[in-house]
């Protein structure tokens, strides 16, 4: 970690605690800043994070975001990415022209290790994990770490990473809005669909946030981009970096691509699709993105194949849970948008009993109608259950059931399966109506599945 002097004796406000806020506060204090943490929740006095921050002499203000905080003449705000820019405190800070960044930007400023940054609507976590595992395979020095939106704050990792290491960072559009200097050695764009419009307001704003991943790159850097849609190919032209495409549809052979039943990088065959353990076209794209990054790094075909053939997937992302009484059970709680659920549905040829539902973000589910036609039964819960039921009716799903919660949905879904079926949780909605995170939702599903076998 670089002990920069930029924050020495500067007053910095961290808005939103959570894990990223905790490690950002800890990092800033090491850099000599006078740190204040503000969170809308009131934590118990014995909360571990609160106690540790107070022991470090960091002021923590809880129970709301009082505007008078800004009277303390802060030089910088580090904002939790989940807090929108129309939050009254953030709006007031912008009016005062106080710089606002997110935690990965802070971490980048002090990182000794080069970064590979991955963004996109879908596939970020799987792609990030694959890249990290390949870069960590048979290294002669250092380690490859994963961090970011994957659940590990970048500020935590940079404190232990050296110049011999690499950090592979999953970055959400929320985090990318706070980018000012961040310049990854390699940036990856997996895809862009319509998502998070409740936060970004327009698709154009969402795309602009995503493209911040490459805005500081130069010709010495690399931008690995999905070339399967014209929009994404056109977006690549905005980057000053060297473009390395990947394409499942063989739109370009200048990078990684699928040809027939094999995956290539330029003229080199890397692996046959039959050797890959994860199902679905979307995972072919994830594999191709990881191959492209690996080859830029000079990793051998043997190292790449060792990881690709043994990687069993990411928890909560079309995660194979178990085979129970002839039924294959999958946990796709990370499907927080329609496109992710479409990807999951397309991954299977077997009959599907689907559990879906969650936070109502104010849009319809008409895009799901065609993919839902392969579903034999659907169980819906949460705020969106009636909206999704309308789409299910248009898809003419034979069995449509509405329940109050996930605990009710799982045994009902199970009762509607037959041997050879897939039982799939793929909500097509955020979890925040009934759960704090998609991880919590997925863990509840796993627990409910466990009860089936008891």
Q: What is the DSSP string of 383-431?
A: TTHHHHHHHHHHTT-SEEEE-SSHHHHHHHHHHT--TT-EEEE--SS-S
- Residue 214 annotated in ligand binding: no
pLDDT for 113: 98
**Which pLDDT tens digit goes with each residue over 372-410?**
999 999 999 999 999 999 999 999 999 999 999 999 999
- Residue 120 annotated in ligand binding: yes
Judged against a pLDDT cut of 90, whether residue 363 lies above it is answered with no
Question: 99, 110, 216, 212: which is closest to 156 by C-alpha?
Answer: 110
Percent of the chain beyond pLDDT 90? 87
Q: Which helix (H) or strand (E) holds 76?
A: strand 76-79
pLDDT for 301: 98
3-class secondary structure, 283: helix
pLDDT for 85: 92
Question: 19, 290, 28: which is closest to 151 by C-alpha?
Answer: 19
In the chain, what is the straight-line distance between the N-terminal and C-terminal CA atoms, in Å?
49
Judged against a pLDDT cut of 80, whether residue 56 lies above it is answered with yes
Judged against a pLDDT cut of 90, whether residue 258 lies above it is answered with yes
**Which pLDDT tens digit goes with each residue over 78-117?**
999 989 999 999 999 999 999 999 999 999 999 999 999 9
**Which pLDDT tens digit goes with each residue over 301-331?**
999 999 999 998 888 989 989 999 999 999 9
- Residue 122 annotated in ligand binding: yes
Task: Please give the CATH topology (third level) of the domain spanning 319-452.
Answer: 3.90.190
Residues of the chain within CATH 3.40.1190.10 domain(s) are 111-310
Residues of the chain within CATH 3.40.50.720 domain(s) are 11-101
- Residue 124 annotated in ligand binding: yes
Q: What is the mean pLDDT of residues 6-21?
A: 95
Judged against a pLDDT cut of 90, whether residue 28 lies above it is answered with yes
The class of domain 111-310 in CATH terms is: alpha beta
Q: Quick one: tokens of 286?
A: 């994830």
Alpha carbons 450 and 424: distance in angstroms, whole number: 15
Q: What is the mean pLDDT of residues 216-243?
A: 97
pLDDT for 197: 63
DSSP 92-107: HHHHTT--EE-HHHHH
DSSP 167-188: EEEE--HHHHTT-SS---SEEE
- Residue 298 annotated in ligand binding: no
* pLDDT-derived band at 196, boundaries 50, 70, 90: low
pLDDT for 279: 82
pLDDT for 193: 84
* DSSP category for residue 138: T
DSSP 334-369: T--SHHHHHHHHHT--S-EEEEE-----S---GGGH
pLDDT for 323: 92
pLDDT for 333: 97
* pLDDT-derived band at 51, boundaries 50, 70, 90: very high
The class of domain 11-101 in CATH terms is: alpha beta
Residues of the chain within CATH 3.90.190.20 domain(s) are 319-452
Judged against a pLDDT cut of 80, whether residue 201 lies above it is answered with no
* pLDDT-derived band at 46, boundaries 50, 70, 90: confident
**Which pLDDT tens digit goes with each residue over 419-435?**
999 999 999 999 999 99
- 39-42, Cβ contacts within 8 angstroms, sequence gap of 24 or more: 39/15, 40/16, 40/64, 40/65, 41/17
pLDDT for 195: 63
pLDDT for 200: 72
Q: Is the distance from CB of 159 to CB of 85 less than 8 angstroms? A: no
């Amino acid at each position: 970690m670089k002990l920069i002097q930029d924050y020495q004796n500067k007053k910095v406000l961290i808005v939103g605690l959570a894990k990223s806020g905790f490690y950002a506060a800890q990092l800033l204090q090491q850099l000599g800043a006078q740190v204040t943490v503000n969170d809308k929740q009131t934590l118990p006095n014995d909360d571990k994070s609160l106690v540790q921050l107070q022991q470090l002499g960091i002021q923590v203000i809880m129970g709301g975001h009082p505007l008078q905080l800004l009277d303390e003449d802060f030089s910088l705000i580090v904002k939790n990415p989940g807090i929108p820019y129309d939050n009254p405190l953030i709006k007031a800070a912008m009016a005062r022209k106080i710089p606002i960044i997110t935690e990965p930007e802070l971490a980048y400023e002090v990182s000794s290790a080069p970064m590979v940054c991955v963004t996109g609507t879908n596939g970020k976590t799987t792609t990030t994990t694959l890249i990290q595992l390949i870069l960590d395979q048979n290294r002669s020095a250092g380690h490859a770490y994963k961090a970011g939106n994957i659940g590990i704050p970048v500020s935590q990792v940079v404190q232990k990473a050296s110049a011999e290491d690499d950090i592979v960072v999953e970055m959400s559009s929320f985090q990318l809005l706070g980018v000012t200097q961040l310049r990854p050695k390699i940036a990856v764009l997996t895809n862009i669909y319509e998502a998070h419009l409740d936060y970004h307001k327009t698709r154009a704003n969402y795309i602009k946030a995503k493209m911040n991943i490459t805005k500081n790159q130069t010709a010495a850097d690399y931008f690995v981009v999905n070339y399967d849609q014209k929009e994404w190919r056109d977006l690549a032209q905005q980057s000053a970096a060297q473009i390395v495409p990947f394409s499942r549809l063989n739109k370009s052979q200048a990078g990684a691509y699928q040809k027939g039943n094999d995956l290539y990088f330029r003229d080199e065959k890397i692996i046959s699709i039959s050797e890959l353990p994860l199902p679905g076209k979307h995972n072919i794209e994830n594999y191709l993105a990881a191959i492209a990054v690996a080859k830029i790094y000079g990793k051998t075909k043997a190292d790449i194949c060792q990881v690709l053939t043994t990687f069993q997937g990411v928890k909560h992302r079309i995660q194979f849970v178990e085979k129970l009484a002839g039924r294959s059970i999958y946990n796709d709680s990370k499907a927080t948008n329609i496109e992710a659920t479409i990807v999951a549905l397309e991954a299977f040829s077997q009959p599907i009993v689907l559990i879906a539902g969650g936070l109502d973000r104010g849009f319809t589910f008409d895009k799901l109608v065609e993919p839902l036609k392969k579903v034999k039964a659907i169980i819906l819960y949460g705020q969106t259950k009636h909206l999704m039921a309308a789409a299910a009716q248009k898809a003419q799903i034979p069995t449509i059931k509405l329940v109050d919660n996930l605990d009710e949905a799982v045994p009902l879904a199970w009762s509607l399966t037959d041997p050879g079926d897939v039982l799939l949780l793929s909500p097509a909605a955020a979890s925040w109506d009934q759960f704090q995170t998609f991880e919590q939702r997925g863990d509840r599903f796993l627990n409910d599945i466990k009860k089936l076998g008891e």
